[in-house]
Structure 1
Amino acid sequence: MEQSTSSMPNFRNLGVLLRALVLIHLGVLIYVLVTINHWGEWSNKLTEASLWVEPVLLISLAGLALFSTPLQRINYRHAITAVLIWVLLVSWGISAIFDNILPMEQKGMPFRFELVSMSVALLLLLHYQLWIRALSPRLAEARLIALQARIRPHFFFNSLNAVLSLIRSQPKLAEKLLENLSDLFRVAMGSETGLSTMAREVELAQGYLEIEKVRLGERLHVEWHIDKMPAQASIPPLILQPLLENAIYHGIEPNIEPGTIQLNVFRVRDEVHIDIRNPLLNHIPLRRGNGMALDNVRERLLLYYDAEANVSINSGNDYYQIHITLPYREL
């Protein structure tokens, strides 16, 4: 999820948790390799180190995940203090429980284990802060690429021509299409910043497809399966529109026969699923495309949700389907 450079990471994010686990275990392995005198000791040394590290790591991460939302809302310095105090309490509790098996060389240094745990936690927070700052320019670049990928020039000109053809015969419909077009470009130009809601994205998608319906007529049919849609689920803006545009470009425009695009949005436990399916005819070669829209969607989902989001493609003899999985979070 998009964050400022002065906020806590989301400790419920799978990517954040995986980084913590990987970095801590890598540190333990390096510590073991540095401190052993010969290779025969590494197994016992690793077991001893894991006995101390694992309980502190797992309990600390569980507590941080539980209170992730409050930590992101409070002042950053206060949040850091809260995290360090929590790690101190956890490591002190583990030290008190395992005091009878504490290595003799550590008994002369009170709170050594607690201080090491807090130092590691501080280094991890620094790592996440640098990582968030590194993402900021990438997000800005992704928004620029999205602007170039979302709405093809031919769609803009075709839409204007469609509106012009309706001004005299159907002025109300022409006015509605102009409003839909205005909404699309308002979002594309960045007037609506931050995350959007699923209901808003579906609304924009419906407006876009209404414009294309006027241009393509009976060749375009749309099936909406949104009765189980989580309306308030958060999602990056204009994720659906470029994928629907690709579906029309590759599945409807090359074919003179009518085709159906299916959009299915539903929630399963803590995940939001989006399916977009369009027809694909074997005797009509797939039109060349630069793939920029799909690549941009993948990158933006990665930047916002890390490892928790996924985009997969499934194709058969007569269909092409994109499946998106997002973590469910209300805006």
Structure 2
Amino acid sequence: MNSPLPPTIPDTLPDTRNLGVLLRVLLAVNAAALVVAVAATDNFQDAAQRFISDAALLQPALLGALACLALLRDVLTALPYQRGLWLSLALVLGCSLTTRAVLAGLYPADLDSYLRVALYTLLLGLVLFGYFRLRGRALSPLLTMARLQALQSRIRPHFLFNSLNAVLSLIRKEPRQAERALEDLADLFRVFMAENRELSPLASEVALARQYLSIESLRLGERLRVDWHTERMPPDALIPPLTLQPLLENAVYHGIEPSIRPGQISINIFQVRDELHIDIRNPYYKEGGGHHAGNKMAMGNIRERLALHFDAEASLKTTVGNDYYQVHLSLPYRPASTAKPTRKVP
């Protein structure tokens, strides 16, 4: 049985090395500065001049603060949330006041100026950290897990019954193959029922995907052909768990089962500099009459989990050709060298 879900959702600091987080902070802070400039002046021209003048002080402080937070990200995120939050605010405040002092020769400052800088910094910092906290809870793994379980509850009974029937047909003729199939099936459902919240090593996810396809090949036989390209795959890359298997389940259900002819699923996993790419292509039949509509729940769930872990640095794109359907995942390469694997590679 699944272990009960915890009643609370742990808060985490935003990833200050993530492009999406940095863009949100830059836009929010500059938008706040523009609002202040407009509120403090009587016309657009004066507001523009005020904004430009404030930006000369704001941008160095903002970039310095972001650089400090990015440099110390691992230290800050390892701390309890409250302690990491207040230490982050202290770092941002220190960067802001230091920048103001350095630029005092060009922009004279009195005590009131430093107090205003401190007040604005603390207010903006609290608002932004509060925003990222709420956003993290909105994209919580618990909510995503519930949606994933709803999706799997529709698919697993069909897959389970078909798999068991295929195994039963092998017990007398190929008992060893039937035993291996039951072991693969047990491994699959053990992973399905686990609380998969953390990132998982890519090698483990590929092993799980191979087990799934091996089970499907028992009932589909020669109709299912799989072409793996993993020569340039980084096995230690971390990805959200149960990412490959649902995509391959869709590929089998929508690309192989509708036809009596053999069909091929191609999986290409490779690394380009600091990015990991995953391509999955399966046959597409126009006469299927919108049979790809069933992909929406799985695709939406995977997009949510990519956004949770990688923000704007990850993407999922689909392409429909004349005779193929392709899913392309792009996400940052994060090695598992410093992380504990979520499960043993079968």
Query: Is TM-score (shorter-chain normalized) higher than 0.5?
Result: yes
Question: Could you say which residue in structure 2 is the equivalent of 1:34?
Answer: 39
Task: Give 1:184-199 correspondences, 5 Å limit.
Answer: 184-199=188-203
Q: Secondary structure at the match of 1:48?
A: helix
The one of 111, 115, 120 aligned to 1:116: 120
Tell me how far 1:285 sits from its aligned partner: 4.4
Please tell me whether the aligned partners of residues 149 and 242 of structure 1 are also in contact (alpha carbons under 8 angstroms): no
1:212 is matched with 216
| Correspondent of 2:304 among 296, 299, 304 | 299
Q: Which runs of 5+ in 2 are unaligned?
A: 1-7, 337-346
1:193 CA displacement: 4.4
State the alpha-carbon separation in 2 of the partners of residues 261 and 288 from structure 1.
15
AA paired with 1:107? D
Aligned position for 2:253: 249
CA shift for structure 1 position 194: 2.3
Provide the identity percentage. Answer: 45
| Structural mapping, 1:44-123, within 5 Å | 44-102=49-107, 107-109=110-112, 111-112=114-115, 113-123=117-127
Which whole-Å deviations, capped at 9, do the CAs of 1:211-265 have from their partners, x for residues lacking one?
Answer: 1111111111101111211112111111111111111112111122211100111
Deviates more, 1:198-207 or 1:65-74: 65-74
1:231 aligns with 2:229: no
- Amino acid in structure 2 at the alignment position of 1:51: A
Aligned equivalents of 2:64 and 2:316: distance in 1? Answer: 32
What is the deviation of 1:102? 2.9
Q: Number of matched residues?
A: 325
1:164 maps to which of 139, 149, 168: 168
Does the 8 Å CA contact 2:139/2:304 hold for their aligned counterparts? Answer: no
How far apart in 2 are the matches of 1:76 and 1:155? 42
Equivalent residue for 1:148, pick from 139, 150, 153:
150
Residues in 2 aligned to 1:94 and 1:294: alpha-carbon distance in whole angstroms? 45
Relative distance call for 1:38 and 1:292 in structure 2 (3 A) is closer
Deviation readout 1:191-217 (Å, 9 max, x if unpaired)? 554221111110110000001111111
Alignment CA distance shift 1:261-1:308 (3 Å): same
> Which stretches in structure 1 are left out of the alignment for 5+ residues?
none
Letter in 2 for 1:31: V
1:115, distance to aligned residue in structure 2 (A): 4.2
2:249 counterpart of 1:221: no
For 2:292 and 2:43, locate their aligned partners in 1 and report how far apart those are by CA, in whole Å.
60
Q: Is the 8 A contact 2:136 2:308 kept in 1?
A: no
CA distance in 2, matches of 1:199, 1:178: 21
125, 131, 143: which one aligns with 2:129: 125
1:100-137 per-position Cα deviation (integer Å, ceiling 9, x unaligned)? 3436xx5252622244324422332233223323333x
Alpha-carbon distance in structure 2 between the residues aligned to 1:8 and 1:312: 28
User: Paired residue for 1:328, among 327, 333, 345?
Assistant: 333
**What TM-score, normalized to structure 1?**
0.90
Distance in 2, matches of 1:312 and 1:288, equals: 14
SS of match in other structure, 2:291: coil
TM-score (norm 2): 0.87
**Amino acid of the structure 1 residue aligned with 2:242:** L
3-state DSSP of counterpart to 1:263: strand
Query: In 2, Cα distance between the equivalents of 1:192 and 1:39?
Result: 52
Say whether residues 1:17 and 2:22 are aligned partners. yes
Further displaced range: 260-269 or 181-190 = 181-190
Per the alignment, in what secondary structure is the counterpart of residue 222 of structure 2?
A: helix
AA in 2 matched with 1:246:
N
The change in CA–CA distance for 1:152 and 1:294 in structure 2 (over 3 A counts) is farther
Give the distance between the partners of 1:70 and 1:214, measured in 2 at CA. Answer: 49
How far 1:330 moved relative to its partner?
2.4
| Contact 1:180–1:207 under 8 Å retained in 2 | yes
* Residue among 201, 204, 207 paired with 1:203: 207
Q: Is the 8 A contact 1:11 1:65 kept in 2?
A: yes
- Return the alpha-carbon distance in structure 2 between the equivalents of residues 77 and 289 of structure 1: 44
**Superposed structure 1 runs of 4+ greater than 4 Å apart:** 282-286
